[in-house]
Homo-oligomer: A and B are copies of this chain.
Amino acid sequence: MDKIRVGMVGYKFMGKAHSNAYRALPMFFPKSAVKPVMKAICGRDPEGVEQAREQFGWESAETDWRQLVKRDDIDLIDINAPSDAHKEIALAAAAEGKHLFCEKPLALTLEDSREMLEAAEKAGVKHMVGFNYRFSPAVQLAKKLIEEGRIGKIFHFRAMFLQDWIIDPNFPLVWRLQKDIAGSGSHGDLGAHLIDMARFLVGEFNEVIGMSETFIKERPLASAMTGLSAKGSAEGPRGEVTVDDATLFMTRFMNGALGSFEATRFAAGHRCTNGFEINGSKGSIKFDFERMNELQVYFTDDAEDVQGFRRVLATDPAHAYMDAWWPAGHTIGFEHTFTHEVLEFMQALAEDRQPVPNFNDGVKCQEVLEAVDLSIAERRWVSISELK
């Protein structure tokens, strides 16, 4: 198997990002033993999907995902439709023996996400979940430093994902602000990324306690919108915002580290501050996705007079993926994380192993999300084990 034929459901923000990744892979990672073939793209609106097909470079278009998952000429289903559709598509695709690449969050509920994992395992297919931020070279460097023991025992992890696109009370009630479609607000959208990052770098969660708020309770009704920006209006009918605007929580990790998390869409000046800091017995690490090519690293055993956070520009050949792109000092951007993500899937297929992160990681992330929700509802600490 040196080619994998992909059928993709969804063609908006994530659909564009995934398409670009499939296109970029063979050019920048020509040694990848398996290469994706962009077979079919699927969306409900015939005109929209046909335009996307042409623009993104897919061979064919479908308007019914049920049709798509049955096609013989497709090996892998890439699911980046709105979150409420993930489960049904994944289950149908698994039943057809298709490999699965699903955007996060895996599903609207923990139960659903577990069902998806079971279906994938039962079908014996490869499955991956789209936690793309793991694939920043700077984050890979953080992982490497931790695994090699260069940061020592971890004491603290603090993470925040700050955005500011809905501060205006007249920003409309887009689908991301509706619980029945999005599952949750910043918690599931942004917090999920932080939780995955924490699991990737620090380890499993023990217990959590959270707090959340919906600062703006009602917003103007909007026709379907998908992006992260829109001009709102003070007039016309309003509807209830049914998700959280901001969710914070604290945690103890199984290894004893303490963690704090904050996800909000009400942090003026932060377009996409997805950042974390780790403090260990031998050093510290800081990352902010707005400067995704950089990692700040501190070592306690540096000479006494020159101790300080180093600003590492993770674009050298010594850094993951970077020899595939440009010479040292020439930065990459947001979209490259998806190319690396797809590369991982291709390598997993070539090596006949599950890619990482996979549906197990999606389920575990969902466990933490729901534990936090429960802790908010019941105003108490919740152990992750309660959800097992």
Residues of B contacting A271 with CB < 8 Å? Answer: 313, 315-316, 327-330
Query: Any chain B CB within 8 A of the CB of A170?
Result: no
Docked complex Cα distance between A248 and B313 (Å)? 26
Give A304-336 interface residues, CB cut-off 8 Å to B: 304-313, 315-319, 325-336
Q: With A333-B333, A334-B326 as given contacts, are A268 and B250 in contact (CB-CB < 8 Å)?
A: no
Partner of A30, one of B55, B227, B270, B311: B55
Most buried by B among A273, A281, A332, A334: A334
Residues of B contacting A299 with CB < 8 Å? Answer: 306
Residues of B contacting A332 with CB < 8 Å? Answer: 333-335
Please give the residue numbers on chain A whose beta carbons come within 8 Å of chain B beta carbons, in ascending order.
13, 17, 19-20, 23-24, 26-27, 30, 51, 54-57, 141, 144-145, 155-156, 158, 160, 162-165, 167, 209, 211, 213, 215, 227-229, 246, 248-250, 252, 256, 258, 260, 262, 264, 266-273, 277, 279-284, 289-293, 297-300, 302, 304-313, 315-319, 325-336, 379-381
CB <8 Å contact, B310 and A306: yes
| Identical subunits present | 4
Docked complex Cα distance between A262 and B257 (Å)? 13
Partner of A316, one of B54, B280, B307, B328: B307
Closest to A29 in B: B55
CB <8 Å contact, B300 and A316: no
Residues of B contacting A167 with CB < 8 Å? Answer: 281, 300
CB <8 Å contact, B281 and A327: no
Residues of B contacting A317 with CB < 8 Å? Answer: 229
CB <8 Å contact, B305 and A318: yes
CB <8 Å contact, A316 and B305: yes
CB <8 Å contact, B319 and A305: yes
CB <8 Å contact, B267 and A279: yes
CB <8 Å contact, A272 and B305: no
Residues of B contacting A289 with CB < 8 Å? Answer: 331
Partner of A269, one of B51, B298, B318: B298
Q: A132 to chain B: closest CB distance in Å?
A: 11
CB <8 Å contact, A264 and B279: yes
Partner of A318, one of B24, B57, B304: B304
Q: A22 to chain B: closest CB distance in Å?
A: 11
Partner of A209, one of B162, B165, B209: B209
Q: A30 to chain B: closest CB distance in Å?
A: 5
Docked complex Cα distance between A215 and B283 (Å)? 15
Docked complex Cα distance between A142 and B356 (Å)? 42
CB <8 Å contact, B290 and A268: no
CB <8 Å contact, A283 and B300: no
Q: List 27 A-B contacts (CB under 8 A).
A: A17-B326, A27-B57, A30-B51, A141-B305, A144-B305, A145-B305, A163-B329, A213-B256, A213-B258, A228-B327, A229-B327, A229-B328, A260-B262, A267-B284, A268-B282, A269-B307, A271-B315, A271-B329, A289-B331, A290-B329, A293-B333, A306-B310, A310-B311, A326-B335, A330-B333, A330-B334, A333-B333
CB <8 Å contact, B297 and A308: yes
Closest to A150 in B: B306
Residues of B contacting A282 with CB < 8 Å? Answer: 268
Q: With A258-B246, A260-B248, A262-B260 as given contacts, are A331 and B329 in contact (CB-CB < 8 Å)?
A: no
Docked complex Cα distance between A267 and B295 (Å)? 17
The 9 closest A-B pairs by CB, nearest first: A271-B329, A272-B329, A269-B298, A308-B310, A228-B327, A308-B312, A330-B334, A333-B333, A332-B333
Most buried by B among A57, A227, A313, A380: A313
Docked complex Cα distance between A319 and B303 (Å)? 12
Q: A179 to chain B: closest CB distance in Å?
A: 20
Residues of B contacting A302 with CB < 8 Å? Answer: 310
